[in-house]
Amino acid sequence: KKQLKSHLNVLSEFFAPYDMRQRGFSDLIGQLKQQNQKLEKEVKRRKRSEEELIRSKRYFEQLIENALDIITVLSSDGRILYESPSVERILGYRPGNLVGRNVFDYIHREDLEEVRQQFGRLAEIPGRSRSFEFRLRHRDGRWRYIESIAKHVVDFDGESAIIVNSRDITDRVSVHKKLMEAHESLKKSRHKLVSAQRIALLGSWEWDITEDKLIWSDELCGIYGISAAEAPETYDEYLERLHPDDRELARKTIENASKEKSAFEFTYRIYRPDGSARILHARGDLVTDEEGRPVKMIGTGQDVTRMKEVENKLRIYSKELRNLSAKQNMIREEERIRVARVIHDELGQMLTVLKIDISIMMKRAGKASGQTLMSTITKGMDEFSDRIDTIIQSVQRITAELRPEVLDDLGLVEAIEWQASEFEKRTGIRFHFAMEAEPMDLLDEARSTAIFRIFQETLTNILRHSEATEVDIQLRQEDSFIILQVKDNGRGIDPHKIEHSNSLGIIGMRERSQFLGGDISFKNVNGTLVTLKIPVNQQNVTADAEGET
């Protein structure tokens, strides 16, 4: 520029003496001045651009050096060309230590194949972007979860590079895993709760008092026999589901709990849509706000129908057992009195007569002598023998009534035949006996005694109530059970007496059979048919008991 000015000055001085008014030379001077001005402007513009470029370079260098994320430049084959200083803070490597190495050598093997495929697609097309999430090895050997966004760029010289912005998300992944574990644990706990409610026939409910909004669990809906869509949504709708006679009880109980800010429980009835009745036991508690005002109630409803039925049956059974025990005591006392009376009236009198006979004979013997004495003694001994035989028969009869010897000596079949024969002799009621079983040697004493006593009680009931003239008795074996059937031609048993708690004879027969794992039934079929079924051995009793359990 200075040289140009100098040249112009020289030219001006040189041509000054000449005619400067020549047109062409003036135009040349003007053009030179214009070019000079343009040149000055271009120089200034380039200088400003250079200064701006320097400032921008310094700005981006500071930005990269202070970035929290890792800025990495990779070649198309994964070789590291540049990594920002933040690589030391996140991964422990000093800046520049990774340059020239392949990034795939530091990726977890379980994530490597997926990252390679994504990186390969990215390198195919310039301008394409991809996001990755993978594990990268820390300098100390630990694995860090990295989230990266990569872009394929081309510089002014046509060189390709992959610029990657990576962020450490290990803490976020850890929190996410914990949340997922907590969610899974919550799902398992909920599943256990639902299973427990289903097993216990227990449902839960929640009532928002301020908004009068009611929420029922699925199990509670199932107890009521409705779907979740049919569940009541308000307090009044809930009361409508209750038995009319129990609504006031429920209303008062809940109101008192709200006033006293206390827990509550009560039992009520419902009718399901199918018409079946259920008995429910409700428990609940009150939730208040910071000022002590009721805002919510939570609680449960449990189907206790089966439990109430069992309680009623136990109550009935308890009453029956008390009555049965009283009857057994009365029977034992009557038996004692009868045995005492028989012993006193029969054996006592016979022994007294025997004693008198001995006394008389001794007096006669004292007065007699010789042949007369021997005759007196012989006659007395014959009378004593007859008396003793009579006493022995009485003892045998009394013993047989208490427990027939034939049951112990010959077995159940002969005992039943003997008892039936004695029954026919006393009452005149004819009997027919049929045996369709093998010898009862497998029956133990307890079973034989139970069957025999039930048979005795059956004959007693026939005598007292049936007005029968004939009795058919059948004893048979089916599989591993002994079956005894006794049928009379009387007026038949009253069906109400079969289940009546005052029918102590029937209750006693059932108790004996059930104790041995058996069963007894009573039917009215042109008379009364009693069927007793008893297992042959203890193994059957155990198996039946396990089956019932």
pLDDT tens digits for range 71-124: 888 998 899 998 888 888 889 898 888 999 999 999 999 999 999 988 888 888
Q: In the predicted model, is pLDDT for residue 262 greater than 60?
A: yes
- Distance, CA of 178 to chain centre: 28
Asked if 284 contacts 256 with a C-beta cutoff of 8 angstroms, the reply is no
Q: In the predicted model, is pLDDT for residue 157 greater than 90?
A: no
Q: How confident is the model at residue 394 (pLDDT cuts 50, 70, 90)?
A: confident
Q: In the predicted model, is pLDDT for residue 128 greater than 50?
A: yes
Predicted local confidence at residue 543, as pLDDT: 40
pLDDT tens digits for range 203-233: 889 999 999 999 998 889 999 999 989 999 9
Q: What is the mean pLDDT of residues 277-293?
A: 90
DSSP letter assigned to residue 79 = B
Q: How confident is the model at residue 1 (pLDDT cuts 50, 70, 90)?
A: low
Q: How far apart are CA 81 and CA 380, in angstroms?
A: 143
Predicted local confidence at residue 144, as pLDDT: 92
Q: Which residues contact 293 (CB under 8 A, 6 or more apart)?
A: none
Asked if 468 contacts 493 with a C-beta cutoff of 8 angstroms, the reply is no
Q: How far apart are CA 480 and CA 533, in angstroms?
A: 10
Q: In the predicted model, is pLDDT for residue 407 greater than 80?
A: no
Query: In the structure encoding, which two tokens stand for residue 304, read together?
Result: 């206790």
Q: How confident is the model at residue 13 (pLDDT cuts 50, 70, 90)?
A: low
DSSP letter assigned to residue 466 = I
- Distance, CA of 379 to chain centre: 88
Predicted local confidence at residue 232, as pLDDT: 92
Predicted local confidence at residue 62, as pLDDT: 61
Which of 466, 484, 488 has its CA nearest to residue 475?
484
pLDDT tens digits for range 517-549: 888 998 888 889 999 998 886 544 444 444 433
Sheet holding 294-303, edge to edge: 213-216, 202-208, 294-303, 277-288, 264-271
Which of 423, 424, 402, 406 has its CA nearest to residue 415?
406
Predicted local confidence at residue 282, as pLDDT: 92
Q: In the predicted model, is pLDDT for residue 265 greater than 50?
A: yes
Burial (CB < 10 A; 0-12, 13-18, 19+), residue 420, is buried
Q: What is the pTM of this model?
A: 0.39
Sheet holding 430-436, edge to edge: 430-436, 470-478, 481-488, 528-535, 519-524
Q: How many residues does the chain have?
A: 549
The DSSP code sequence of 249-284 is HHHHHHHHHHHHT--EEEEEEEE-TTS-EEEEEEEE
Q: How far apart are CA 99 and CA 80, in angstroms?
A: 5
For the stretch 149-153, contacts whose Cβ atoms lie closer than 8 Å and that sit 24 or more positions apart, written own/partner, are 150/74, 150/119, 150/122, 151/122, 151/127, 152/122, 152/123, 152/125, 152/126, 152/127, 152/128, 153/126, 153/127
* One-letter-per-residue 3-state SS of 127-164: CCEEEEEEEEECCCCCEEEEEEEEEEEECCCCCEEEEE
pLDDT tens digits for range 321-351: 776 666 666 666 666 666 666 666 666 677 7
Other Cβ atoms within 10 Å of 471 Cβ, number? 25
